[in-house]
Structure 1
Amino acid sequence: MGERVLVTGASGFLGGYVVRDLRAHGYVVVAAGRRAEALPDGPTFVGDLDDLGRAGAPDTGPVDVVVHCAALSSPWGRWAEFEHANVTGTARVLGYARRVGARRLVHISSPGIYAAPRDRLAIREDQVDPSRPMNHYIRSKLHAEALVRAATGPETVVLRPRGIIGVGDPALVPRLLRVHERVGVPLLHGGRGLVDLTAVENVALAVRLAVEVPEAQGRAFNVTNGDPRPFVELLDQLLTGLGLPLRHRPLPAGAVYGIAAALEAVCGVLPGRPEPPVTRYTVSTITHSQTLDISRARDVLGYAPAVTLDASLASYAEHRRG
C-alpha cells in the first residue's frame, strides 16, 4: 500500500475511525480538521475547508486520495450555514484534490437524500427525488453530490452510510437518550418502522474499499449493516444494555408530524431560530420504514459488514457504563 490519504473531518466521529482504519492497513494518513486537540496522532492539517482549499494553505505534501468526511449535520439550521459547510466546503475539497493531483476523492454523503414521509424499502442508489428535500441539510447534501458528479480531475466515489452508531457517537444515540431522560421516547405506529443502522467500523471499511477498488469510480454506494430492525426493538435493546428503564410514549404519528411542522414554523421566526424539540424529518425517520439496498456495495466493492449491530450496541453500552 503506502499511498498517502488526506481525511477531512478527522476530528469527528466517523473521520477518526476512517483515519485509524486506513493507518492500520498501511496507508499514510494526513488527518485534517479544525480542532488540533481532537485529531489522531500523526501527520495533520489544522484548519477548516476554506483553509484547505486556499492555494496558499500550508503544504500537506503529496496526496493520492482524499476522503471527505467533514460536514455540518443537523436536522435544523440556517441554509447559509449548510451551504457554506457542505456545498462550498465540498467545492473547496474538490479544488484541493485537483491542486495536489489526487487520483481519487471519496465523498461521504447521506441517505437523508431519500427521506420522505412514507415507508421506503430496499432503496437503490438511483431512487433519489431531489425536488422536495425535507430540510436544509438534505438540500445541501444533494447540492454537494451534484458538485462531485460534475467534477473534473480526480476519480470520485460517493458513499451514503445510514444511521452510523458506535463508541464515540456524538449525535444519534445521545439525542435519543436525552429524549428518553426528559419524557420517554415517542413510539409512532407502535415503533414498528424498520430502521437500517451501520456500525461505524463498517463505514470505515466501506471507505477503505472505495479507496482501493478501481470499479468504484464514478459510482454511489449505499452502506448499512444490512440488518434492518423495528425501531422499538433496537431502542429496547439499547436501553436494556445501558440498564435504563424502557420508557415509551405511544403517540399518534399524524398529530406529532403536525406539531413538528408548527414548531418549525414558530422557531423559524424566533430570535436566533432555536432548534425545535422535534422536527418533521425526525418524526419521519422514527415513524416510517426506510431500508437501503446494499447489493451494489457488496457486488462492486466486496463490502461485507464486519461488526454486527448486536456487537455495536453492546460495545456502546459497555463504554457508556464505564
Structure 2
Amino acid sequence: MSRVLVTGAYGFLGRYVVRELLAHGYEVVAFGRKRDKLEALRADGAEAAELFVGDFCRQEDITAATKGVDFVIHAGALSTVWGKRSDFMETNVRGTQRVIRACKQNKVKRLVFVSSPSIYAGKCDRLNIRETDCDASNCLNYYIESKILAEKVLREQRGVPCVIIRPRGLFGVGDSSIIPRLIKANRRSGIPLFRGGHNLVDITCVENAALALRLAIESEAAAGEVYNITNGEPREFRAILEELFRALGEKPRYLRLPLGFLYGVASLTERVYRLFRLNGEPPFTRYTICTLGYSQTLNIEKAERELGYRPIVSLRAGIRKYAKGER
C-alpha cells in the first residue's frame, strides 16, 4: 500500500485530497502547522489519516515527515491576492525548495505540486489556454510571481519526478474564498459586473481537483508534465451567479462598473497601499478586476488524455451541494 504525504492537509483543497486518497486505499500523512485543525480533519471523515504537525518552511520538519513516504502532494501555500512579497517568496518558493530537498533525501517516488492558473491572468480575454501558454514575466501580483518561480524551481531540479497541476477556480462545501466573497459582496452592495457579465469563466468543483491530484501520482505518463484542471464547463460569469444565488435562495444584485476605469483605480490603490504600508487588502486589485472582467477558459485535453481525467461532479451538482451545505 502506497504512503502519501499531503501538505496543507487541512486547507480547503487539502481536506478533499486526504479523503480522496483514503477512499482509494492509500495510507495518508496529513501535514500541517496546527494540531487542532489536523485533529478536526481526522474528525471530518479522515479518521485513518496519520497526523504530522510541522511547517514545510522548516527543513527539519518536512524532512522528518517525508521519511518512508512514496509520494508527496504539495498543496500547502500562501494563497491570497495581497501581501508582502517576502512572505510569498519564503512560503511558496523557498518552502517548495525545502520540500524538494526532503523528497530527494528520502527518495520519494514523485512530487505533485499544486500550482495556479492565476499565472495566465492578464488584462485581456484568453480562451482555450494550454499549459504552455504562460507568460513567465507575469507580475500581476506577488502570488502569481511566486507560483511561476516555484514551477521554475521544480522544472530545473533533478532527482525527483514532479507533476504540476493547475486547478482553476476551486469551489465546494467548505470554500472560504470565492463563493463566500461573492455572497458577502451581494449582501453588502452588489457584485461587480463588467461587460454585462458575459465573460466566460472556467471553475472547478474541488472534488474534481482532488481526483486529478490522485491521478497525477498514479499515471506513468504524468512525470515531468503540467496539467490544467477545470470542470470543462465554461459559462458566462453572470449565468453562474444566477444559478448559484437561485440555489441559495437569494436574489443577485449587481454593480455595473466600467472595466478600464476600475482597473486604473485598482492599480493606483495598490500603489497607495504599498507606499504607505497600509494594513489589509485593497478593495479592488488588478488581479481581481482581471478575474471578474475578462474571459479565461482552460484547455484540459492533456489531462483527459494522459491522466484519464474526467470530472466526477458537474458544475450544477457542485452548486447544489454547496447550497445544501450552506444550509
- When normalised by structure 1's length, the TM-score is 0.96
Output the CA distance in 1 between the equivalents of 2:65 and 2:291. Answer: 42
Describe the shift of the 1:180–1:174 C-alpha distance in structure 2 as closer, same or farther (beyond 3 A): same
Describe the shift of the 1:56–1:292 C-alpha distance in structure 2 as closer, same or farther (beyond 3 A): closer
SS in 2 for 1:54: helix
Output the CA distance in 2 between the equivalents of 1:253 and 1:260. Answer: 10
Output the CA distance in 1 between the equivalents of 2:5 and 2:182. Answer: 32
**Corresponding residue for residue 311 of structure 1:** 317
Output the CA distance in 2 between the equivalents of 1:59 and 1:190. Answer: 49
Give CA deviations for 1:57-92 in whole Å, capped at 9, x if unaligned. 645540000000001111111100100110011011
Moved more, 246-255 or 120-129: 246-255
**Corresponding residue for residue 135 of structure 2:** 129
Moved more, 249-258 or 305-314: 249-258
Aligned with residue 227 of structure 1, among 226, 229, 233: 233
The answer (yes or no) to whether the contact 1:11–1:34 under 8 Å persists in 2 is no
**Corresponding residue for residue 18 of structure 2:** 19
**Corresponding residue for residue 55 of structure 2:** 48
Output the CA distance in 2 between the equivalents of 1:57 and 1:141. Answer: 22
1:284 counterpart = 2:270: no
The answer (yes or no) to whether the contact 2:54–2:62 under 8 Å persists in 1 is no
1:5 counterpart = 2:4: yes
Describe the shift of the 1:258–1:32 C-alpha distance in structure 2 as closer, same or farther (beyond 3 A): same
**Corresponding residue for residue 184 of structure 1:** 190
What is the percentage of aligned positions where both structures have the same residue? 47
Output the CA distance in 2 between the equivalents of 1:14 and 1:59. Answer: 20
The letter for the 1-side match of 2:131 is E
Give CA deviations for 1:79-138 in whole Å, capped at 9, x if unaligned. 001001100110111111112110100000000111111000000000111123211000
Output the CA distance in 2 between the equivalents of 1:57 and 1:144. Answer: 19
The answer (yes or no) to whether the contact 1:160–1:223 under 8 Å persists in 2 is yes
Alpha-carbon offset, residue 167 of structure 1:
0.4
Describe the shift of the 1:57–1:215 C-alpha distance in structure 2 as closer, same or farther (beyond 3 A): closer
SS in 1 for 2:31: strand
Between the two proteins, the alignment pairs up a number of residues equal to 319
Output the CA distance in 2 between the equivalents of 1:177 and 1:280. Answer: 21
**Structure 1: stretches of 5+ with no match in the other structure:** none
The letter for the 2-side match of 1:3 is S
**Structure 2: stretches of 5+ with no match in the other structure:** 43-48
The answer (yes or no) to whether the contact 1:90–1:144 under 8 Å persists in 2 is yes
Output the CA distance in 1 between the equivalents of 2:171 and 2:119. Answer: 19
Alignment of 1:69-84 (within 5 A): 69-84=75-90
Describe the shift of the 1:127–1:271 C-alpha distance in structure 2 as closer, same or farther (beyond 3 A): closer
Describe the shift of the 1:222–1:57 C-alpha distance in structure 2 as closer, same or farther (beyond 3 A): closer
The answer (yes or no) to whether the contact 1:241–1:314 under 8 Å persists in 2 is yes
The answer (yes or no) to whether the contact 1:115–1:133 under 8 Å persists in 2 is no
1:94 counterpart = 2:91: no
**Corresponding residue for residue 46 of structure 2:** none
Output the CA distance in 2 between the equivalents of 1:97 and 1:277. Answer: 40
